[in-house]
Chains A and B, each alone.
Chain A
């Protein structure tokens, strides 16, 4: 696995990519949002201070899922009226990327998936059902959220967002799906809920008094 090294065009700090396919990263020092071009890194924005956050996960947290080791390399932070949640971008040891979401300590792992004829945001209703990969999914909640910030490496450009709609779909098993309406084209993520203990997480944050 290559670990391309470059320098931040804003502050000159060394930028190391943990994942060769990363498209975007954030400079640890000056919080510039940097996008990879063919030749170098381009600053496209700046991350405002992230709100104080109580996720036990952080960049470099390591874990295991489906017998594969992974490491957290980036995240997108969202907020909605009941609080916030993180979509942690994780790099599996086979080079694929996945998302570990942490919504008030409810953990789930999902993968970007392709399906034809995804519904537009305005067409989706609670209790509506969809079948993807021979699995029936039921819309449980439609969440209007807003983008709050990014950290680390991401597999796509993601920085100039404001309000985004998420549709959560559940099943009678641990499987779930999310429809992400961040972009004009809806994106589908299929995954499953996981137990904190099963992830065998290491390098977690510590909490005062715990």
Chain B
């Protein structure tokens, strides 16, 4: 290596350039080094050619600064997705829908190594935006980008109404671009067509709080209003998975029921048919059955009652009594069946059979004490009583099923209303809303 020759001169280290507005003399600092194509004087709103050493005036616009004040002041630095960015430009843009102007704000962010990135803000909803490096495919209904499908949300003409700071393109107030948004929450894919050139960008929803934390801004971010086009809904994301989980659980319940049904012995231990005769039943009508044995450990006992009643009722007072210990379970069961015909057609009520399950009955010798009460209109009727040991109980499964179904339905409904308010702002409003707006149009 030669030691005599001095090293070749290095190009100067780029630094933010301090200049003065040729129109009003206000200080202008070029923060994005050579990347600024246009810079706007904050004092007199002259749009200047940042590439020209004399900052030639390209356009002058009238503006009341207070109308559009950047929420993040120009020159503020913050860390976004691990990279430091400085806010170098700001513009307010608007679209007109049915004669109403809707405004949003865009911030140009700069990092000398990573380049340019954008933030947008509409009614407290933020998006982190970068230019697409690959080409999406799009048609009227949607677009595909990096293998993901986006739904068409809105097409409109966006107007730049107010600009401040530096822009890496030839910005002009009054310039109109055809903007189309496609959504796949939390992302939004946008195409902007200006003259012949189409620029695609991809945005991801951000909460005001994240922006405030990134840029260490004082106070609180503006409250978001309504549901934004690509705002993620924690509910929406989970609905499909939640129904899948619900279905899996329902299947699990069914399997559990089948297993318990198979394992239950369902052993008939007693069955008898009695004849009730009012004439015979004087005074105390109760009687006791033969003794039957309940085997196994502690298990359920089902008592079935049936009677061929026809527009009558019978009521049986039961006691299941343990012969050895005297422990008793008292219960009453009614069997009634009514039917008829009225202006609505035929009707029926009740059943000729009844079943009741007594839980946790220990093994032993038992008998039933039965005291029948019968519809006074019925002089005589047969009735059968049977006892089955160890039957499966399914009621708890039904409760579990409903207990799970209720939140799933509520969350699905909330997701549905969230999506409705999202799409009500789009070119494709939900059905009822579009007919409502048509009606209101007729009224005018």
Report the nearest B residue to A56, measured CB to CB. B113
Question: B135–A207 contact, CB under 8 A?
Answer: no
Given contacts A82-B170, A84-B34, contact A172 B135 (CB under 8 A): yes
Which one of A82, A106, A196, A207 lies within 8 Å of B33 (CB-CB)?
A207
Minimum distance in angstroms from A103 CB to a CB of chain B: 9
Question: A106–B112 contact, CB under 8 A?
Answer: no
Contacts of A172 in B (CB 8 A): 134-137, 144
Question: B114–A196 contact, CB under 8 A?
Answer: yes
Q: Mark A48-84, 1 if CB is under 8 A from B, else 0.
A: 0011111110100000000000000000000001111
Contacts of B134 in A (CB 8 A): 170-174, 193
Minimum distance in angstroms from A152 CB to a CB of chain B: 11
A13 located at the interface, meaning its Cβ lies under 8 Å from any Cβ of chain B in the complex: yes
A209 located at the interface, meaning its Cβ lies under 8 Å from any Cβ of chain B in the complex: yes
Cα–Cα distance between A171 and B113 once the two chains are bound (Å): 25
Of listed A81, A104, A174, residue having the most chain B CB within 10 A: A104
Cα–Cα distance between A140 and B8 once the two chains are bound (Å): 40
Contacts of B51 in A (CB 8 A): 83
| A positions within 8 Å CB-CB of B | 13-14, 28-29, 50-56, 58, 81-84, 104-106, 126, 138, 140-141, 170-174, 193, 196, 204-210
Report the nearest B residue to A194, measured CB to CB. B133
Cα–Cα distance between A52 and B34 once the two chains are bound (Å): 7
Report the nearest B residue to A12, measured CB to CB. B5
Given contacts A81-B170, A106-B131, A205-B14, contact A54 B32 (CB under 8 A): yes
| B positions within 8 Å CB-CB of A | 2, 5, 8, 11-16, 32-35, 37, 51, 84, 111-116, 131, 133-137, 144, 168-170, 196-198
Question: A52–B12 contact, CB under 8 A?
Answer: yes
Contacts of B16 in A (CB 8 A): 208-209
A55-B34, A209-B15 are known; give 20 further A-B pairs, CB within 8 A: A14-B2, A28-B8, A51-B34, A52-B33, A52-B34, A53-B34, A56-B112, A82-B170, A83-B35, A104-B116, A105-B35, A105-B113, A106-B131, A126-B196, A141-B197, A172-B136, A205-B14, A207-B33, A207-B112, A208-B14
Given contacts A54-B32, A54-B35, A209-B16, contact A82 B198 (CB under 8 A): no
Cα–Cα distance between A196 and B136 once the two chains are bound (Å): 21
Which one of B5, B133, B144, B196 lies within 8 Å of A14 (CB-CB)?
B5
Question: B5–A83 contact, CB under 8 A?
Answer: no
Minimum distance in angstroms from B433 CB to a CB of chain A: 35
Cα–Cα distance between A138 and B134 once the two chains are bound (Å): 11
Report the nearest B residue to A151, measured CB to CB. B11
Minimum distance in angstroms from A143 CB to a CB of chain B: 10
Report the nearest B residue to A172, measured CB to CB. B135
Given contacts A173-B134, A207-B112, contact A104 B15 (CB under 8 A): no
Question: A140–B135 contact, CB under 8 A?
Answer: yes
Question: B14–A105 contact, CB under 8 A?
Answer: no
Cα–Cα distance between A105 and B14 once the two chains are bound (Å): 15
Contacts of A81 in B (CB 8 A): 170
Question: A210–B84 contact, CB under 8 A?
Answer: yes
Which one of A29, A51, A106 lies within 8 Å of B133 (CB-CB)?
A106
Question: A193–B112 contact, CB under 8 A?
Answer: no
Contacts of A140 in B (CB 8 A): 135, 198
Cα–Cα distance between A159 and B33 once the two chains are bound (Å): 26
20 of the cross-chain contacts (CB-CB < 8 Å) are: A14-B2, A52-B12, A52-B34, A53-B34, A54-B112, A56-B113, A58-B11, A81-B170, A82-B169, A83-B34, A83-B37, A104-B115, A104-B116, A105-B35, A105-B111, A105-B116, A126-B196, A141-B197, A172-B144, A193-B133
Report the nearest A residue to B115, measured CB to CB. A105
Report the nearest B residue to A141, measured CB to CB. B197
Which one of A29, A83, A141 lies within 8 Å of B168 (CB-CB)?
A83
Given contacts A104-B115, A105-B114, contact A170 B32 (CB under 8 A): no
Report the nearest B residue to A105, measured CB to CB. B115
Contacts of B137 in A (CB 8 A): 172
Cα–Cα distance between A84 and B50 once the two chains are bound (Å): 12
Contacts of A28 in B (CB 8 A): 8
Minimum distance in angstroms from A204 CB to a CB of chain B: 7
Cα–Cα distance between A54 and B111 once the two chains are bound (Å): 11
Report the nearest A residue to B147, measured CB to CB. A172
Q: Which 6 pairs from chain A and chain B are nearest by CB?
A: A105-B115, A28-B8, A208-B15, A54-B33, A54-B34, A193-B133
Cα–Cα distance between A50 and B14 once the two chains are bound (Å): 13
Minimum distance in angstroms from A154 CB to a CB of chain B: 18
Contacts of A83 in B (CB 8 A): 34-35, 37, 51, 168
Which one of B2, B14, B35, B135 lies within 8 Å of A104 (CB-CB)?
B35
Cα–Cα distance between A164 and B402 once the two chains are bound (Å): 72
Contacts of B136 in A (CB 8 A): 172
Minimum distance in angstroms from A102 CB to a CB of chain B: 9
Minimum distance in angstroms from A207 CB to a CB of chain B: 4
Cα–Cα distance between A170 and B199 once the two chains are bound (Å): 12
Report the nearest B residue to A28, measured CB to CB. B8
Question: A106–B115 contact, CB under 8 A?
Answer: yes
Cα–Cα distance between A209 and B136 once the two chains are bound (Å): 37
Minimum distance in angstroms from A15 CB to a CB of chain B: 11
Contacts of B14 in A (CB 8 A): 52-54, 205, 207-208
Minimum distance in angstroms from A109 CB to a CB of chain B: 12
Minimum distance in angstroms from A157 CB to a CB of chain B: 22
Given contacts A104-B168, A174-B134, contact A207 B13 (CB under 8 A): yes
Cα–Cα distance between A29 and B198 once the two chains are bound (Å): 43
Contacts of A14 in B (CB 8 A): 2, 5
Cα–Cα distance between A140 and B199 once the two chains are bound (Å): 9
Contacts of B116 in A (CB 8 A): 104-105
Cα–Cα distance between A173 and B412 once the two chains are bound (Å): 36
Contacts of A126 in B (CB 8 A): 196
Cα–Cα distance between A56 and B35 once the two chains are bound (Å): 12
Contacts of B15 in A (CB 8 A): 207-209
